[in-house]
Amino acid sequence: MESVLLVAVLVVLLISRWGRVMLGPYWWGPPAFRKAMDAFPGPRPTLPLLGNLVQLAFGGKVLHNGLAIIGRWSPSAFSFHLGPVPMVVLTRPEDYEAVIGKLTQKATYIYSTVESFFGVGLATLNGEAWRVHRKHITHAFHFRILERYVDVFERKGREFGDRVQRLADGATSFNVFPHLAFTANDTIFETAFGLDKSTNSAVSAAHRQEFVDAMEESFEQLQYRVLHPWLLMDWLYRLTPAGRRFYEAVDMIDGFAQSVIDDRRIKMRDGAAAGYSFLDLMMKIQPGEDAVVLNDAELRGELRTFISVQQTSATIMSFALILLAVHPDIQERVVDEAVAELGPEGGVTYASLTGLKYLERVLKETLRMYPVLPAMARDVTEDAQLTDGVVPAGASIAMVPIVTHRDPALWEEPTRFDPDRFLPERCTGRHPYSYLPFSAGPRNCVGQKYALLQMKAVMSTIVRRFEVLPGKGCGTMAELEKNLDVITFLTVSGGFNIRMRPRAPRIEPAACSPPPSFTDSVLRRDFGAGATLPAHASGR
């Protein structure tokens, strides 16, 4: 069916005015634009509508195809046509610095597609509207607010352990991502939607799995649509099976979000809402100077953006658990630190989580090797000077962190998992744009502090309870690399497979006997194990 639709679309494009917009500025724009793009090296576009998508999307995994293309042309900036969109692909930090936060907005082609999921919100807005929303939402991630979420983060980590306990026999290999995604979405119900435990249980029985399934379906279909540009016409996309599945999922998510908004509005009016959920904070802002009151469509859009952050957290933790399984020595250091800071089974606080410095480095190194968004796009609103040429206004640029993060000119032994490369002394002199785990510049991820705090709480709870072992298809770094793929976010084909077994009890370091003093050591050496000085002579 889609091949017939493609032919029909091409005919319509050739005879319609809208087709000029759809086919992009490279084919229909001024000659100077095409000349500027052709000045960059890179594969030439094949068909106007498809560009270089044939090389990217067919004949193998999208990620591996993309990395092969970049490997051929980088480190120089080079041109690539993502469907109708002329792009300049960047991998060098100095080129990122030249464009990010100065001349760019979110890529219209990509984000007009994902707007069908995110709606009107921070993920899709540009210009002044984005600035106002960003300032508005930043208040919801103040550390005083985040402190109130820590108990929820820890409790969800413990509930994760309860759910996987039956699988933790040391032999069963299982995909940990769905369990972490459930945990992440469960956290959303409380921290974003403001649903308490009793309400949360009622929602779970009727809607929770349906909600999670709808999220997964949406993300999968978003990538499919971007890679099939003839489906950008919404009326056409809605006629396809993929389009029908996507909009059914979006309607489910949207309906759920609206029902929660209505419920919170009633509770806030009656004084029954706690007032510290993300939604409560978004709804409480009153009109005033430089303030904005979000309507329901905007609230739904911001909730969906917040939900997507949880999917990235689940992905990062899944990668981190695999890396700890493959590197048991690093896993032991994580456990030692967690026991020392939190106790063998102790609870977590905001202050204690900030003390988990090694775990934080593990998460940073995980994001270096496996950035959840392996590539990001921006539109160039005016000519941008790069090392190798000038990107013309109207083009897009693609930043590829997964390549930059593995550049041997920037990172020593880049394929080795080494959390200590993020020790402060080793970060000195590193280019600020050599590491882009959550993007960079003014459009970086507004929820990254929330995400890091949540991951530290959940991960520290997991590793104190379970030993993590390699699973099927993820037993070595070579296997993991071979199975990497991208479905909107970076993923592992075949699943994030690990094994678990209950961890042997550990003695809290603070409860151990202190090391003997020098005097005690000398006495035991010369006079036997039981020798001590008299109390008046020991000074104790």
Q: What is the DSSP string of 114-175?
A: HHHHH-SSTTT--HHHHHHHHHHHHGGG-HHHHHHHHHHHHHHHHHHHHHHGGG-SSS--EE
Burial class of residue 1, CB neighbours in 10 A (0-12, 13-18, 19+): exposed
Rounded to an integer, what distance in angstroms lies between the CA atom of residue 450 and that of residue 453? 5
Q: How many CA atoms, within 13 angstroms, populate the side-chain half-sphere of residue 393?
A: 5
Cis peptide before 75 (omega within 30 of 0): yes
CA distance 363 to 353: 13
Query: The tokens of 311 are what?
Result: 């999917």
Terminal CA-CA length for the chain = 88
Largest CA distance in the chain: 103
Distance CA 351, CA 60 (A): 47
Enumerate the β-bridge partners of residue 80. Answer: 87
* DSSP labels, 44-74: PPSBTTTBTHHHHHSSS-HHHHHHHHHHHHT
Q: Which DSSP state fits 539?
A: T
- And the tokens for 105? 């907005």
- The three-point CA angle 512-516-521 to 5° equals 150
Segment holding 453, helix H or strand E? helix 448-465
Cα–Cα distance between 279 and 286 in angstroms, integer?
Answer: 14
Query: What is the separation of C-alpha 101 from the centre of its chain, rounded to a whole number of angstroms?
Result: 20
Closest CA to 177 of 309, 305, 319: 319
Instruction: Tell me the residue type at 482.
Output: K
CA 519 to chain CA centroid, nearest Å: 54
Whether residue 474 is annotated as binding a ligand: the answer is: no
Is residue 123 a contact partner of residue 105, using CB atoms and an 8 Å limit?
no
Task: Give binding residues as ranges.
Answer: 445
What residues are designated binding site for heme? 445
